[in-house]
Structure formats: structure tokens, C-alpha cells
Amino acid sequence: MLDHPLQDIDAWLLLFSNNSLPVLRQTRRQIEEMRTDLDSVDGRKLAKVVLQDPIMTVRVLAYIQPLAGRALHRDITTIAGAVLMAGIEPFFNRFHEMPTIEGMLKDEDPQALLAVLQTIRRAQRAADYADSWAHWRHDKNPEEVRIAALLHDLAEILVGCFAPKLLLRMRAAQAAQPGLRSAAIQAEVLGFTFLDIQMALCGVWHLPELLRELIDDENSEQLRVRNVTLAVRLARHSAKGWTDPALPDDLKEIAELVHLTPEALAHRLGIEQDEKRDQPQ
């Protein structure tokens, strides 16, 4: 496992691109179970499994883009579309015996695996929020918004898998200096920010331009990007409960986005309910 920063961004791209990216153990298990009865598998059922796992999602999108470009001359921006394009049996032939995150980190500090799983759980919650709000807004394609939120912090997950000591170092620095911007800590420890790495990976993997735009917070003047950005913020600020001082501002902006009162939004989010689900799993 890498325990020091790499010399340039190309080295980070090479590290991630030349390794078989690991998925959640649960993802691998569910896909292997489906493989035993292909006749009962459809694209919707398969997409539901894929869309709970950020790395599996990006693996599928990266796999399908060259095929889609040759056949359709356009990008595939949803997992359901990717499965339809690939076909059920070729999909299972391609994604077989994948390495797992849990297996990759089993010999590392237990805190490293916990940190990665917490980040994934946060990404899942951001995706759920983004998807819900996209439906409330009658977005033309809510799954695109869901995927963008799910992949927003993909670089953080990848660094945690391949360089867990560096991720723990950044978390310790953030805990010691909570007022310091996370991007500054990332640049100090890695030499680049997560966003720098992520945008470069989008190019290497030929991810759809639309998803790159939705992931990039710099495009926050766009309504769909704002949907993604606010979902990611809410998932981050509520990760340990609903007491973070940033949450009132988040909820105000989200209420404006979805045209609800803050009280109606809080009710829909279930903030007044017991928040056991926010604890790391």
C-alpha cells in the first residue's frame, strides 16, 4: 500500500488505472448470486445493485463508453442504459471475480477500512438525497443526478483504498484543525486535491461530459449541479447527526431548490426522527 504522495497527477492516474478497482464485498456477492440465475435478472434489478457502490458504478460507466461511442455516437449516462447496451450475459462475463475493498484493506489499520466505508455510506446518502430532490423537481433524468452525487467523492474513496495511510493522515489533520479547508489539507498531503484527481480520472476513463459537469461544483449556477452539490453537503454535514452548525444554511438552500418551506423539508427528511441510520455501518 502506498504510504507517501506521488510525484505528479499522472502518477495518481496510473496508480488507479493500472489496478483492478475494488468493489464492496456486498456488491460482489449480490452480482455473483445473480449470475447463478441469469434468466431472472433484468437491467433494473442489476442497476439497483450497481448504484449502491460508487466504484462499481464508475467501472460500469468506464466499460460501456467505448462501446456506446462506436455504436450510438453518444454517451451512456445511466447504469440501466449501460446494462441495456452491454447485454446481461456480456455484463456478467466482464464483471467476474472482482477484488473487494474489504479484502484489499484487511491487513491495514482497521480505521482505514472504517474511513473508506464511512465515505461510501456518505456517498450513498448523498445519492439518495440527490435522487429524491431530482424527482421533486421533475428532473428530466434523475438517475444522472444520482450518479453524479454518488461519484462526487470518488477520489477520496480511491485514495482510501490504495493509500489508506494518507487518507488517515488527512482525517487526523482535519480533526486537529477543523477550521482548515479540506482542499488545503488534500493539497498538502497529496500534492493535489481530490477534485483535481477526480476530474483527471473522468478524462482517462472517458466518462460522459454531462457527468463531469454535474460532479464539478464550479458549475453550481446550474440547477442540476446545485442539486448534486447540496446533496453532498447535507450528507457530509449530517454524517454524525443533525447538530452540525452548517445544517441550517444547507436546509435553507435546499428548501429554495425544491420549493418547500424549511419546515416541510425537515419533515420530508425525517429530521425529527431518531437518526440511528447516521451511525457508520
Pair 94, 126 in one domain: no
Task: Point out the domain boundary residue: 98, 119, 146.
Answer: 98
Closest by CA to 253, choosing from 220, 219, 216, 213, is 220
pLDDT, average across residues 52-58: 96
Residue appearing with cell numbers 441495456:
84
Pair 88, 139 in one domain: no
Pair 107, 234 in one domain: yes
Q: Say if residue 224's pLDDT is above 50.
A: yes
Least confident range of 67-81, 109-123, 134-148, 229-243 = 67-81
Pair 49, 154 in one domain: no
43 falls within a domain = yes
Q: What is the 8-class DSSP label of residue 271? A: T
Q: State the pLDDT at residue 46.
A: 94
* pTM reported for the whole predicted model: 0.91
Pair 84, 114 in one domain: no
CATH code for the domain in which residue 232 is found: 1.10.3210.10
Q: Which region holds residue 127: left if phi is over 0, alpha if psi is between -120 and 50, else beta?
A: alpha
Pair 110, 85 in one domain: no
Pair 115, 218 in one domain: yes
Q: State the pLDDT at residue 274.
A: 42
User: What are the grid coordinates assigned to 273, written together?
Assistant: 426522527
pLDDT, average across residues 7-31: 91
State the pLDDT confidence band at 277, using cuts at 50, 70 and 90.
very low
DSSP H or E stretch at residue 88: helix 88-94
Residues 6+ apart with CB under 8 A from 8: 191
Give how many domains the chain has, as a whole number: 2
Angle in degrees, CA 254, 256, 260, rounded to 5: 90
Q: What is the 8-class DSSP label of residue 40? A: G
Pair 117, 165 in one domain: yes
Q: What is the 8-class DSSP label of residue 100? A: B
Least confident range of 100-104, 132-136, 206-210 = 206-210
Pair 91, 106 in one domain: no
Tell me which residue range forms the domain holding 211: 102-238
Pair 77, 135 in one domain: no
Give the pLDDT confidence of 160-188 residue by residue, as tens digits.
Answer: 999 999 999 999 999 998 888 999 999 99
Q: State the pLDDT at residue 272.
A: 62
18 falls within a domain = no
64 falls within a domain = yes
Least confident range of 68-72, 119-123, 170-174, 236-240 = 68-72
Angle in degrees, CA 24, 29, 31, rounded to 5: 95
Q: Say if residue 73's pLDDT is above 60.
A: no
